[in-house]
């Protein structure tokens, strides 16, 4: 993984490079970012950068033998620990039992979550764990000489899973053997022992900007520009969510939203029935995405009411639609209520409610709001 393959996170990258260039890299880093923001990819990029012998322009070269070994997770001085399960009764949940699976998993997508990982190894209802034995093995491995004569790097992915056993590592983190770099990756810092937190240098990842997510999708040829922009707005700063959506969003959502709103604003009953009929034939994911996207557009319209000169961060057609909506006499309160009603329907659709009825009744509610009438309570 190269830094340039990381989606967004410019501040974190620059922060790391600054430490590196000024020779102030601590021997224990803690990378913290919410699910889907790229904690593991970031740790892998640091590892490759540190091992690479041909670094240039603040990144690894991507072609030298060290880069190759790190990118395959096969470098002899690069160790990985992550939540695992006991493969059979009487054995501990050691990472080494699953290293081959972990290589495959990371090759598919390093942005996936620990939940995805545990499913990948068929953990079913077993909880993942980083046991005390794994901590002891980490200490033993890092106390050995490096195989290739350079640095040794240990990544601990999902440090939350260390639990109290993490205390075993305190001394190692405080005084690691020479030429050793420990990189812990976590999503919820509160769940990591404070004794570990205080001994590591924190690198915070932020939710990824929509523009960076869109770029990440088009760079990977997972979506065209328009679809990428839509997905980026739906994924709440998570590239993992963006990847999931790119697999589930079949077509362009916007023409359907426009068709729906035209029917709503002209109170066209026949068209609204047709719309509900057509949408209910799509999969639930597609239905949810369309409704979620509608919420995003409504929120942008509300924003424009307060800040009429800003350019909505949307493709041009959607931006025009949002501008029109923001100028419509429908009240602010009505727009808010529309968002609430749509959210409620998403909730019901997620729970397998009959989607055609739900969408139709939603349309009726929205017309009430648009026309400024009170929705009759049943
Ligand atoms: Zn290299």
Q: Would you state the pLDDT for residue 127?
A: 87
Q: What is the tens place of the pLDDT at every residue in 291-350?
A: 988 998 999 999 999 898 888 878 788 899 999 999 998 889 999 999 999 999 999 988
Distance CA 133, CA 26 (A): 26
Regions of the chain short of the pLDDT cut 50? none
Residues in the chain: 378
Q: What is the tens place of the pLDDT at every residue in 4-55?
A: 999 999 999 999 999 999 998 999 999 999 999 999 999 999 999 999 999 9
**Gap from CA of 71 to ligand 1 centroid (Å):** 10
**Gap from CA of 94 to ligand 1 centroid (Å):** 30
Distance CA 249, CA 231 (A): 8
**Gap from CA of 299 to ligand 1 centroid (Å):** 45
* CB-based contacts of 223, cutoff 8 Å, min separation 6: 217, 231, 246
**Gap from CA of 44 to ligand 1 centroid (Å):** 13
Q: In degrees to the nearest 10, what's the CA dihedral of 124, 127, 133, 135?
A: 120
**Residue pair 252/226 in contact by the 8 Å Cβ criterion:** yes
Distance CA 327, CA 332 (A): 11
Pairing state of beta strands 78-81 and 180-186? unpaired
Phi, psi of 314 (to 5 degrees): -140, 160
**Gap from CA of 55 to ligand 1 centroid (Å):** 6
Domain ranges of the chain: 3-206, 212-247, 250-370
What architecture is the 250-370 domain classified under in CATH? Up-down Bundle (1.20)
Q: Helix 225-234 crosses helix 239-248 at what angle (to 10 degrees)?
A: 120
Q: Would you state the pLDDT for residue 350?
A: 85
- Residue 338's CB is within 10 A of a number of other CB atoms, namely 23
**Gap from CA of 75 to ligand 1 centroid (Å):** 12
User: What global pTM score does this model have?
Assistant: 0.78
What architecture is the 3-206 domain classified under in CATH? 3-Layer(aba) Sandwich (3.40)
**Gap from CA of 93 to ligand 1 centroid (Å):** 33
**Gap from CA of 20 to ligand 1 centroid (Å):** 16
Distance CA 10, CA 333 (A): 38
**Gap from CA of 62 to ligand 1 centroid (Å):** 5
SS3 content of the chain, % helix, strand, coil (to 5): 55, 10, 35
**Gap from CA of 58 to ligand 1 centroid (Å):** 12
């Amino acid at each position: 993984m190269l830094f340039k393959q990381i989606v967004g996170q410019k501040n974190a990258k620059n922060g790391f490079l600054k430490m590196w260039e000024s020779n102030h890299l601590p021997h224990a880093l803690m990378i913290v970012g919410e699910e889907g923001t790229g904690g593991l990819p970031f740790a892998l990029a640091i590892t490759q950068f540190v091992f690479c012998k041909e670094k240039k322009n603040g990144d690894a070269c991507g072609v030298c033998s060290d880069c190759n070994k790190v990118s395959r997770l096969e470098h002899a001085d690069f160790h990985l620990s992550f939540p695992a399960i006991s493969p059979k009764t009487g054995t501990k949940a050691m990472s080494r039992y699953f290293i081959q699976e972990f290589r495959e998993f990371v090759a598919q997508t390093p942005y996936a979550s620990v939940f995805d990982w545990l499913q990948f190894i068929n953990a079913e209802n077993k909880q993942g764990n980083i046991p005390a034995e794994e901590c002891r093995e980490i200490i033993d491995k890092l106390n050995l000489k490096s195989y290739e004569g350079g640095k040794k790097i240990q990544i601990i992915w999902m440090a939350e899973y260390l639990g109290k056993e993490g205390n075993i590592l305190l001394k190692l983190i405080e005084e690691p053997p020479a030429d050793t770099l420990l990189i812990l990756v976590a999503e919820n810092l509160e769940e990591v022992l404070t004794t570990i937190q205080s001994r590591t240098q924190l690198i915070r990842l932020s939710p990824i900007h929509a523009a960076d997510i869109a770029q990440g999708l088009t760079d990977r040829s997972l979506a065209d520009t328009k679809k990428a922009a839509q997905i980026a707005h739906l994924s709440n700063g998570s590239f993992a969510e963006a990847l999931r959506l790119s697999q589930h969003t079949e077509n362009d959502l916007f023409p359907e939203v426009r068709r729906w709103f035209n029917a709503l604003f002209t109170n066209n009953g026949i068209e609204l029935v047709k719309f509900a009929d057509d949408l209910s034939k799509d999969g639930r994911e597609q239905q949810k995405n369309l409704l979620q996207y509608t919420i995003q557009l409504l929120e942008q319209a509300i924003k424009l009411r307060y800040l009429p000169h800003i350019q909505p961060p949307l493709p041009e057609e959607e931006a025009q639609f949002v501008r029109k909506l923001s100028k419509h006499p429908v009240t602010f309160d009505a727009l808010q209520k529309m968002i609430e009603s749509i959210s409620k329907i998403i909730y019901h659709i997620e729970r397998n409610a009959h989607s055609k009825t739900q969408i139709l009744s939603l349309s009726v509610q929205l017309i009430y709001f648009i026309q400024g009438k009170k929705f009759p309570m049943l």
